[in-house]
Amino acid sequence: MKHKYIPILLIALLSLAFVACQPPEPEPEPESEEPPEPSPEQYYQQIKNTLGSLLTPGTPAPPDNVIQEAISQVQLRRQQLSMTENGRAAIQMISRDVDESIRETRREGRWKKVKALCVLHTALQPGNERHASLLEHADLMLGCPRITITGFLELDGEIYAFLDLFDPKTGETTPYRRREGEEFHDVMRIVRIVGNQQSVEVEYLPARHVWTVPGPRERARSGA
């Protein structure tokens, strides 16, 4: 009777030995954790790097294609960042920088750059029309002619100013002779002749912009 169970016992022992010889099951790899979301400051720096010299004071506007590419990238980033609290905070931070750059660039009279920054602000803050009127003004100023005073002539008790007008819209230069109060080129007016035929105060009528253009003697005195 004992011998009857010996084969069964051997089979059981062999089974146990086989199981013991099997390599251990590999431990499951730990689930990879997602990296933490960038901070508002990190998001802010990413956007600022996209804008290049647009936020740098004292610099001219970059080429049109560079401006358009920067605005397109900012529009895309805004859509992405507006989904998180950190992203929205970064948008507010860069918007404040754009506001400050607009003020500085306006003081510098860099109207092409002012226009680009106004469009950029709208890309960051859709529906915000804070700079809408300034954008219109910048458009007008981009069409402002450049005036060069070439001389003066006193005739019958009145002083005439001789000037060359360069029209940025057409790229053409037109000579004029005008007295105080007279308009020319449809958009310009001589406000007054300053001093002893030293300079001429002119007005760009569409924007009501008044400035003083030096005459030949003033240019020579200043070395311009």
Q: What is the mean pLDDT of the chain?
A: 89
Among 91, 93, 100, CA closest to 123: 91
**Residue 75: pLDDT above 60?**
yes
Give the Å distances, CA to CA, from 4 to 7, 8, 40.
Answer: 7, 8, 79
Q: Token pair for residue 183?
A: 């308009």
Q: How far is CA 9 from CA 1, 17, 22, 46, 197, in A?
A: 13, 12, 20, 72, 126
pLDDT at 223: 75
Hey, what amino acid is at 161? A
Q: Which two tokens stand for residue 10?
A: 């051997």
Among 144, 65, 64, 70, smallest CA distance to 111 is for: 144
Q: pLDDT tens for residues 130-178?
A: 999 999 999 999 999 999 999 999 999 899 999 999 999 999 999 999 9
Where is average pLDDT lowest: 27-31, 46-50, 91-95, 112-116?
Answer: 27-31
More confident site: 165 or 34: 165
Position of tokens 């004029």? 176
Q: What is the mean pLDDT of residues 53-73?
A: 94
pLDDT band at 34 (very low <50, low <70, confident <90, very high): confident
Say whether pLDDT at 30 is over 70.
no
Q: How confident is the model at residue 221 (pLDDT cuts 50, 70, 90)?
A: confident
Residues of the chain above pLDDT 70, percent: 85
Model confidence, pTM? 0.77
Per the listing, tokens 């996209």 go with: 50
pLDDT at res. 138? 97
Q: Rounded to an integer, what distance in angstroms lies between the CA atom of residue 133 and that of residue 129?
A: 8
Domain spans in the chain, listed from the N-terminal domain onward: 40-141, 146-222
